[in-house]
C-alpha cells in the first residue's frame, strides 16, 4: 500500500485488505453464532456498504435474503447534516429479524434516521453491523451490535467508501493525509 491521490486530496494507507478480511471473518462468526436459531434479513446500506456486505455475507453460515437501501448524508469530506434515503426495495419486515449492514458509522444520524422509518417499526428485532465506527464522532444514542473496527475521526476511502464517488474500488482503506 502506498500514498495515493483521489481528486485534489492525498490519502495514506490505513487498513489493509488482509486486515479487512480478518475483520469480516470475525464478524461473520459473531453473526452466525448470534442468529443460530433465527431467520434473518440483511439490509445493506448503499452505496458504501455493497462491497463489505457482499464479502461479509459470503462468510456467514446461513442463507440470508438480502435487500438494499440507499442513505446519503455526505458532500466532499463532510456530513451535510441532512439524510436522504430510498427504502423502496424493503419487503414487509413484520416480526422479522433485521441485520442492517453499514460501511461506517460516524455521527450516527443516518442510522438514527433510518431506525425511525415506519418500514422498520414492525420488525421483530433490528441489529446494526458496521465495518468501521468512529465513537468520538457519535452525536446520538445508537447501539451497534457488531463492529469491525473503531477508528479515529479521519476521513477514509476504499473498500466501498468514497470521496466524491471515487475510490470505492480500492481493496484497502486509506485515510486522508494531514500535513502533520
The catalytic residues are 106
Four-CA torsion 46, 43, 137, 151, nearest 10 degrees: -90
Contacts of 51 (CB under 8 A, 6+ apart): 159, 160, 168
Check residue 177 and give left, alpha or beta (phi > 0: left; psi -120 to 50: alpha).
Answer: beta
DSSP type of residue 62: S
Is 22 strand, coil or helix?
A: helix
Cα distance between residue 1 and residue 65, in whole Å: 35
CA 44 vs CA 6, 76, 89, 116: distances in Å: 25, 22, 11, 17
Beta bridge partners of 10: 5
**Residue in the block written with cell 417499526:** 121
DSSP annotation string for 130-147? EEEE-GGG--S----SEE
**Residue in the block written with cell 458509522:** 105
Amino acid at each position: 500500500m502506498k500514498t495515493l491521490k483521489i481528486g485534489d486530496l492525498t490519502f495514506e494507507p490505513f487498513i489493509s485488505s488482509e486486515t479487512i478480511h480478518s475483520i469480516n471473518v470475525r464478524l461473520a462468526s459473531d453473526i452466525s453464532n448470534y442468529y443460530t436459531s433465527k431467520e434473518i434479513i440483511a439490509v445493506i446500506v448503499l452505496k458504501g456498504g455493497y462491497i463489505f456486505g457482499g464479502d461479509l455475507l459470503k462468510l456467514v453460515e446461513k442463507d440470508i435474503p438480502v435487500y438494499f437501501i440507499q442513505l446519503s448524508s455526505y458532500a466532499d469530506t463532510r456530513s451535510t447534516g441532512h439524510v436522504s434515503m430510498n427504502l423502496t426495495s424493503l419487503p414487509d419486515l413484520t416480526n422479522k429479524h433485521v441485520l442492517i449492514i453499514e460501511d461506517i458509522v460516524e455521527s450516527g444520524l443516518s442510522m438514527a434516521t433510518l431506525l425511525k422509518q415506519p418500514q422498520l417499526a414492525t420488525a421483530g428485532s433490528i441489529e446494526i453491523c458496521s465495518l468501521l465506527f468512529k465513537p468520538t464522532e457519535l452525536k446520538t444514542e445508537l447501539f451497534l451490535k457488531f463492529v469491525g473496527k473503531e477508528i479515529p475521526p479521519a476521513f477514509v476511502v476504499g473498500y466501498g467508501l468514497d470521496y466524491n464517488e471515487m475510490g470505492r474500488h480500492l481493496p484497502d482503506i486509506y485515510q486522508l493525509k494531514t500535513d502533520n
